Structure 1
Amino acid sequence: MSSIGDPQTIGDIVRHQGRERSNSIAFEYEGDVLTFGELDRRSNRAANALASLGVGKGDRVAYIGKNSHIYFEILAGAAKLGAVMTPVNWRLARPEVSYVVNDCQAKALFVGPGFAELVGDIEGQLEHVAGIFGSEAPEGKYPGYPEWRDGFPDSDPMVPCAVDDDAVQLYTSGTTGYPKGAILTHGSIFSSRMNERNAEDLHDWQKTVEGEVALLAMPCFHISGTGYGLGTIFNGSNAVVLPEYDPSRALDLIENYNISKIFMVPAAIQILLDHPRVREVDFSNLKYITYGASPIPLELMKRAMEVLGCGFVQMYGMTETTGTIVALGPEDHVPEGSPRMRSVGTPLKNVEIKVIDADGNEVPTGTIGEIATRSPKNMKGYWKRPEATAQTIDPEGWLRTGDAGYLDEDGYLYIQDRVKDMIISGAENVYPAEVENAIYSHPKVADVAVIGIPDDKWGEAVKACVVVKPGEQLTEAEVIAHARQHIAGYKCPKSVDFIAALPRNPSGKILRKDLRAPYWEGRDRAVN
């Protein structure tokens, strides 16, 4: 593998790989093959096409659609202009989609197959968009991006970009009910890879092997999807792109493409293991499965190790840290289980971790507190949210994760609870405030609190505790249906408890721990 050398931005890396491995495959998608040379040339055309809409340095470009190689092509084209890709979670409800597109002030919007109707419904609400295109072909009334792109030259615009320039903006659920755009720079995306060029500093699971093929199965509106795809571009390796996670398709691709590496969330691993064909598949080429976003039960891990027979690496991180900052390697995954398997591992190179109290003071080893991290991987901040940024990142660069945990004497990090009220269900972040706002708008609801409860499949499930107005009647189905009109389906409660009053402290704050306690009884940590 040739060295990247000096390139440190997305555009420069695409240019480099286009020269060094022009005919090597970068992405394979639904039978379509995109080489590094084609990625370089097409992204030049994309950049020139975007420039014709007035897109320039610092402008945002939005994409709503399932995973596709075209997404990375458009991202690379935007990067060559110094513009910023903002993928939109296609599972969001219409009001949420329009909020994100307007908040990032996107000048162009690319629509994947099947989403033209959604975009058509909100088009009149979009305040900054100058052009809408079907990403793979014409979508309804929207012209196709490929034909539009090919009307422009493949000359490189060569807009100067720096490592600390904005590159990708990913939206996270907000504590106040509005999602926040986390700004990731070229440097935060590639810093860990730049710092680990020396193979001697790498674990085996981090090394890139000539000819290896990765499966990109997680959604690109998450750092797990976008980061994974950009990582394969950096490494000069090949990624097979799955539009969305489907266990049958995943098994077919593992067999037919000799997949060697996959990133998955625990719920996806369980779904794969439950597939009736899983024991018929040859997994001999599969070397590593990296997983994260939520812990994995020991029994599920034992089963995965037995059936899949590969190495497993647990990863801990978040959108605001541009993904993984702590990892638990294969050597700590043992079939009989061990205390370390309850940890998320140790920090990656050049990542600092400390545990702090409410005042920001570091606590002793073994003491539970809020986990804070400092590294080049930390986001620049939240888009147009200086107060939220200041609450998350202190002047010395330490980012508060919102997770509670402790470090042991060997530097292993253990997650115990969440300082914030966030629920993680199937690797999706859900803030109670978002769900409560949606439910509270029902005319029969007097009060509501939302909590996360253990769920064997999704890790946690959303539960609503509802107080009905005097003299009114309300059913669980009605509450869920009302919420679904306002927020994404995965955020809606899976169950509803009707109670007489919500427990509150003297200042009126809802005591969520009291509501959660019966469901988490007997567990030694309050995350599942």
Structure 2
Amino acid sequence: MRNEIGFVEVNLAATPIGAIPVPVNWHWTGADLEHLLGDSGVKVAVVHTDLIDGVEEQAPDGLQIVEAQVPDEVRTAYGLGEVPLTGRYPVLHELIAAFDPAEVSTEAPPMGVIYTSGTTGLAKGIVREPVRRDQTAGLLTFIKELIHLDPEWTCILPAPLYHTAPNVNVTFAAALGMNMIIMPKFDPEEFLRLVQESRVDTVQMVPTMFVRLLQLPGEVRASYDLSSLKAIVHAAAPCPPEVKRAMIDWVGPIVWEYYGGSEGGSWVECGSEDWLAHPGTVGKPCPDCAIKILTPDLEEVPTGETGIIYGRATSFWPEFTYLGNDAKRREIDAGEGFVTVGDVGHVDEDGFLYLSDRLNDMVISGGVNIYPAEIESCLLGLDGVADVAVFGIPDERMGEALAAHVELVPGAVLSEDDVRRHVRENLASYKVPKVVVFDERLPREDSGKLFKRRLKVKYWPDRVGA
């Protein structure tokens, strides 16, 4: 299901009866969807009418489909026109109307299973232990402070609810009784209109939303009153420094960031003042959390040196494993509660963490380690570039060379030489892409995560999975 109230109802209604909700990325089709439906062992799938055919094609034997009528707001946002019910399956709102409320409550409700985005391979299902009674109050306080929730505030949810951060947001906002505005699909000017109209206090976003907001003409942005906003929180993907600075210049020092992973929750956080004093940082450890920078052999590296980032979540965060693959869980464990989600970075003398890149994205060219995220950030500063993906490709002489796939702002005109020249003028010469490709649209998730494997596969057909 796309973002709508029915999604929230199903998600929240499952746990009191002991069922485990599995939010599904509705974009997924083919092998991705087949893997999730089979791997999760799901028994019931609640599906928007127009997405049923795709689910039927990949459904395992015995899967019960419940049809969810597509709301008018969703149809309008996606330009769907009329979507009549298929008549082949039970209909969600009719099922709800046919039953009295169930008077049940489990002692320790199960947590939902979230599937990772699968940016480097097939998605993994993250299974968490139920939250114990002695963890509940502490976890609620931790989340309230991290993503800036308050029972008296109004929040807006512009990100897809099938991802961890917005799913946590909507769950805890509902628990606090907050007023919530759910956007079926993010539209930058509609977002500004809703913030002004409903006097929104807090929002959780991703950096690609910042980019789209900043691409609006200045007079359009200035025409909306955003003075009600008390906090804009972002996570899920790296934010280019020039984008972050432009947001703070526009809305003031109310921009907050946190970093962690779906597995271990948040490990560090950063307010605007700390970021302005330490540009590029993602923050310092949250209360009751910790960070280590380790070598592949799990040795700690000196302050300022780059290594693999390991984090330890708050003691209120429930333990986790990967569904049907506890061995994969052990692979990312450094002991004492520290796990990694595969990122590389360093900590400065003041204790602030900086990300370099994904470990899997690091390119070794001529024996030199190159982090594509730095090049991507550089190119996003080039006028006319809307999005960019940089990654390694085979090279007989150097082992690997750099490729840059670039998505342009509508109407912009750039050449391959323009792209290379901008990198050469701002970074070391060995970071200049050998190959430059202009794509109409890069395969980026609504969460802001980029599926580089879909771009890499044509260069590395034997190494990168389909």
Same fold (TM over 0.5): yes
In the alignment, which residue of structure 2 is the partner of 1:143? 90
Residue 406 (1) aligns with residue 366 (2): no
Aligned residues: 385
Question: Equivalent of 2:103, from 156, 160, 168?
Answer: 156
Please state whether the residue corresponding to 1:177 is helix, strand or coil.
Answer: coil
1:386 CA drift (Å): 1.6
**1:48-197 mapped onto 2 (5 Å cutoff):** 65-112=1-48, 114-122=50-58, 125-134=59-68, 139-140=85-86, 141-161=88-108, 166-174=110-118, 177-187=121-131, 194-195=138-139, 197=141
CA change 1:223–1:371 in 2 (3 A) is: same
Residue 221 of structure 1 corresponds to which residue in structure 2? 162
Partner of 2:303: 365
Give how far 1:150 is off: 1.9
- Find the partner of 1:230 among 163, 171, 177: 171
Cα drift, residue 130 of structure 1: 2.7
Separation (CA, whole Å) in 1 of partners of 2:91 and 2:126: 29
| Counterpart Cα distance in 1 of 2:300 and 2:456 | 39
What CA distance in whole angstroms lies between the structure 2 residues aligned with 1:458 and 1:321?
A: 31
Given the superposition, is the C-alpha separation of residues 133 and 497 from structure 1 closer, same or farther in structure 2, using an over 3 Å criterion? closer
Unaligned runs of at least 5 residues, structure 2: 72-83, 364-371, 396-434, 444-448
Q: Report SS of the residue matched to 1:182.
A: strand
Q: Could you tell me how far 1:224 is from its partner in structure 2?
A: 1.9
Q: Is the 8 A contact 1:86 1:168 kept in 2?
A: yes
CA shift, 1:498, in A, is 8.7
Q: Decide whether aligned partners of structure 1 residues 246 and 135 sit closer, same or farther in structure 2, where only a CA change above 3 A counts.
A: same
Q: TM-score, structure 1 length as denominator?
A: 0.64
Q: Is the 8 A contact 1:463 1:497 kept in 2?
A: no
Q: Name the CA shift for 1:497/1:134 in 2 (closer, same or farther; >3 Å).
A: closer
Contact kept, 8 Å, 2:207 with 2:235, in 1: the verdict is: yes
Alpha-carbon distance in 2 for matches of 1:388, 1:497? 23
**Alpha-carbon distance in structure 2 between the residues aligned to 1:494 and 1:143:** 36
Q: 1:191 to 1:458 in 2, by over 3 A?
A: farther
Matches within 5 A, 1:34-45: none
Q: Give the partner amino acid of 1:461.
A: A
Matches within 5 A, 1:392-471: 392-421=332-361, 454=376, 456=380, 460-461=388-389, 465=393
TM-score by length of 2: 0.72
> Which residue in the other structure is 1:434 paired with?
none
Gaps of 5+ in 1: 1-64, 424-450, 468-475, 503-507, 511-528
What do residues 185-218 of structure 1 show as CA deviations (whole Å, max 9, x unaligned)? 44399969625749xx986x76544531111111
Q: Which amino acid aligns with 2:267?
A: I
Code of the residue aligned with 1:226 in structure 2: it is N
Structure 1 counterpart of 2:451, from 460, 474, 491: 491
* Residue in structure 2 matched with residue 55 of structure 1 by the alignment: none
Distance in 2 separating the partners of 1:107 and 1:145? 15
* Matching of residues 260-339 of structure 1 within 5 Å: 260-276=201-217, 277-309=220-252, 311-322=254-265, 324-334=266-276, 338=277
Q: 1: distance between equivalents of 2:35 and 2:106?
A: 30
Give the whole-Å Cα distance in 2 for the aligned partners of 1:109 and 1:495: 30
Q: CA RMSD in A?
A: 3.8
Give the 4+ runs in structure 1 shifted more than 6 A. Answer: 492-499
Percent of paired sites with the same residue: 24
Q: In the alignment, is the contact (CA less than 8 A) between 2:149 and 2:202 conserved in 1?
A: no
Q: CA distance change for structure 1 residues 379 and 271 in 2, over 3 Å: closer, same or farther? A: farther
Tell me the distance in 2 between the aligned counterparts of 1:189 and 1:325: 22
Indicate conservation of the 8 Å contact 1:261/1:287, yes or no.
yes
Aligned equivalents of 1:497, 1:101: Cα separation in 2 = 24
CA shift, 1:395, in A, is 4.9
Any idea what the Cα deviations from partners look like across 1:476-520, whole Å, max 9, x if unmatched?
A: 9xxx99x99xxxx96377978998xx8xxxxx999xxxxxxxxxx
* DSSP 3-state at the match of 1:167: coil
Report the equivalent of 1:381.
321
Aligned-partner Cα distance in 1 for 2:90–2:222: 44
CA offsets 1:56-101 (integer angstroms, 9 cap, x no match): xxxxxxxxx2112222211222101222111111122333112211
Q: Is the 8 A contact 1:405 1:415 kept in 2?
A: yes
1:341 aligns with one of 253, 263, 279: 279
Deviates more, 1:240-249 or 1:299-308: 299-308
